[in-house]
Amino acid sequence: MADFDVIVFGGGPGGYVAAIRCAQLGLKTACIDDRLDAQGSPSLGGVCLNVGCIPSKALLESSHLYHNARHAFAEHGILSGELSMDVAAMQARKGKVVQTLTHGIAALFTKHGVTHIPGYARLAPQRQVVLTPLGKESEETLQAEHIIVATGSSPHELPDMPFDGERIVDSTGALDFAAAPGRLGVIGGGVIGLELGSVWSRLGTKTTILVRGDRFLPMLDAQIADAALSDLRAEGLGIRLETQVTAVKKTARQISIHYEDADGAQRLIVDRLLVAVGRRPNTGDIGAEQVGLKLDARGFIEVDADCRSNLPGVYAIGDVVRGPMLAHKAAEEGVAVAERIAGQQPEVDYASIPAVIYTAPEIAWVGRSSEQLSADGIDFRSGVFPFRANGRAHANGDCRGLVKILADGASDRILGVHIYGDHAGELIGEAVVAMTFAAASEDLARTIHAHPTLSEAVHEAALAVDGRPIHI
C-alpha cells in the first residue's frame, strides 16, 4: 500500500499549489522541500517567495518610494527636506513580508492536510521516493501512486566569474546588500538584471547593465522595448547593448570587467557585480539517470502536453519543463496536474500566459509581438495609445508609456497586447481575460471603462485598432 497518493518534490509556486489542489481533491499528499530560511527553519515558497519574486518586489517598492520622495513629491507640494535611506530597515521590511507569506503557506498546508516533509528527495524505481530528512544522514523510502517533480531552477554561473556571495553575486546576493554599492555592474539585460539593477540605481548606485544582444529585451514588441530603453536610460541606468564580456578581474578594492562593443575593447570598474544570465532547471540531484527519466540536452524534463514524463505516474511542472520560467505558469500546471490525477481534464492556455517586468514604469505583455506576427506571415492590425493622452496618468504624475493591441487582420481576434506604463502588471489582466475568451479588439472597444482610470488607455488602444481613438 502506498504511503501517499501524491508526493510533490519542491515547495515553490508550482509544488505547493499542486500539493494544496491535490489535497482539496481528496488525495493524501506530501510535499518534500529542502529550503531553509536565514534562521535555519524550513521555509516553503521556493525561490519565488524566499529569494525571488516577492522580496524583489518589496525592494522595488521601497526604492520607488524613495526615488519619488527625492524627485516627484515637491511637484505635489510635499516638502520632505533632507532625505536618507535606511537600507537595514528596508531589508528588515522585506524579510517580514517574506516571513509572513512563507508562514501563510505552512498554515495552508495544515488547513488542507498536506504533509510537509523538510528534506531531500530523489526518484527510485516503481514510484518510490528516497527521502533524506533535513538534519539527518539516514535515508528512508516512501511509496507513492503519483509523483510531481517541481524542483524549480537556479541561476547560471559563468565559469570565469564564480559567485562569492558578497561581491560577485547572483540574484539572491543582490537582494541582500547591506548598503547601496557605489558602483554596480550587471551582466545580463533580462528581467532579473533590470529589476535588481533598478532597485539599487534608484537608491543612488551608479548602475551599468551589459547586454549581449543588439536588441533590448528582444522578447518584447520592439516599439515597447524602444520606449522603455529610452526612459530607463533617462533615469540613470547605464544600459549598453552589443557587449561581449572577455574577462573579469577582482582585487581587494574593486572588480574590473573587460568587454568589447562596437567601439572596441572597454573596461568597467565596479564595486559589486550581479551576474544574471539566465537560469537552469534543478534536475541534477533527483535521480533522473538512475530511473530512466528523460531529460533534454539542457537538463529539462521531457513531458507531453499534460506534463506527463516518460515514467508512469511521474509528472513534472514549472521551471524543470518547457515553457517560460514564470511562477504563475508553474502554479497553473500544478493545478492542472492535480486535477488530471483526480480524473478531470483541465487545460492550460499557454498562449495567454502574461509576463511582467517590474521596472518603473512596468512592462507587461501577453501573446505575440508585431515582429513575431510578421515573421509568421500573419496579417494583423495594430492600435496604439500613449499614456500622455490619459487623464489619470496626468493626475498620477507619470505619463510615460503606451498600450499596443494587435488583432488578426481578418477575424479581429486579439493576438497580443503589450503595455508599458504605470501599473502595467495589473492592466495586463484585462487583456489576458479577453484573449482567454477569444475576444476581438472590437469587444474591448465596446466595453465601458471607468473614468478616470489608466485602463482607459487599453480601451483607446482597442479603438485605435479600427482607426477611431477618441482622445488622440
DSSP letters for 257-271: EEEEETTEEEEEEES
If 0-12 CB within 10 Å is exposed, 13-18 middle and 19+ buried, where does residue 99 land?
middle
Domain 352-465 has CATH 3.40.50.300: no
pLDDT of residue 137: 87
Residues whose CB falls within 8 Å of the CB of residue 384, separated by 6 or more in sequence, listed in order: 223, 402, 403, 404, 405, 461, 464
Could you give the CA distance from residue 280 to residue 158 in angstroms, rounded to a whole number? 12
Nearest to 69 by CA among 58, 80, 60, 85: 80
Question: Could you tell me if 51 and 183 are in contact, meaning their C-beta atoms sit under 8 angstroms apart?
Answer: no
CATH number, domain 168-275, options 3.40.50.1950, 3.90.1150.10, 1.20.20.10, 3.50.50.60: 3.50.50.60
Return the beta strands (E) in 228-332 as ranges.
238-240, 244-250, 255-261, 264-270, 272-275, 279-281, 314-316
Could you give the CA distance from residue 316 to residue 320 in angstroms, rounded to a whole number? 7
**Active-site residue flag, 116:** no
pLDDT of residue 159: 86
304 SS3 class: coil
The domain segmentation of the chain, as residue ranges, is: 4-155+280-348, 168-275, 352-465
CATH (residue range 4-155+280-348): 3.50.50.60
pLDDT of residue 215: 96
Asked if 4-155+280-348 and 168-275 have one fold, the answer is yes
Q: Which residue has the cell 543582490?
A: 174
Could you give the CA distance from residue 178 to residue 181 in angstroms, rounded to a whole number? 9
Could you give the CA distance from residue 284 to residue 289 in angstroms, rounded to a whole number? 9
Q: Which residue has the cell 561581449?
A: 244
pLDDT in tens, 404-457: 999 999 999 999 999 999 999 999 999 999 999 999 999 999 999 999 999 999
CA 255 from chain centre, in angstroms, equals 28
Question: Could you tell me if 17 and 335 are in contact, meaning their C-beta atoms sit under 8 angstroms apart?
Answer: yes
Could you give the CA distance from residue 147 to residue 338 in angstroms, rounded to a whole number? 10
Could you give the CA distance from residue 431 to residue 367 in angstroms, rounded to a whole number? 9
Q: Does a cis peptide bond (omega within 30 degrees of 0) precede residue 55?
A: no
Could you give the CA distance from residue 37 to residue 49 in angstroms, rounded to a whole number? 11
pLDDT of residue 226: 98
Could you give the CA distance from residue 363 to residue 361 in angstroms, rounded to a whole number? 7
Nearest to 288 by CA among 135, 151, 116, 153: 151
From 156, 394, 451, 471, the catalytic residue = 451
H-only helix segments in 132-287:
171-174, 191-202, 222-234
The order of strands in the sheet holding 168-169 is 168-169, 272-275, 183-187, 206-210, 238-240
- Averages of pLDDT over each 10 residues, the chain, 472 residues: 95 98 98 96 97 98 96 93 95 98 98 98 97 94 98 94 93 97 97 98 98 96 98 96 96 95 96 97 97 98 98 98 98 98 97 97 98 98 98 98 98 98 98 98 98 98 98 96
Q: Which residue has the cell 531531500?
A: 120
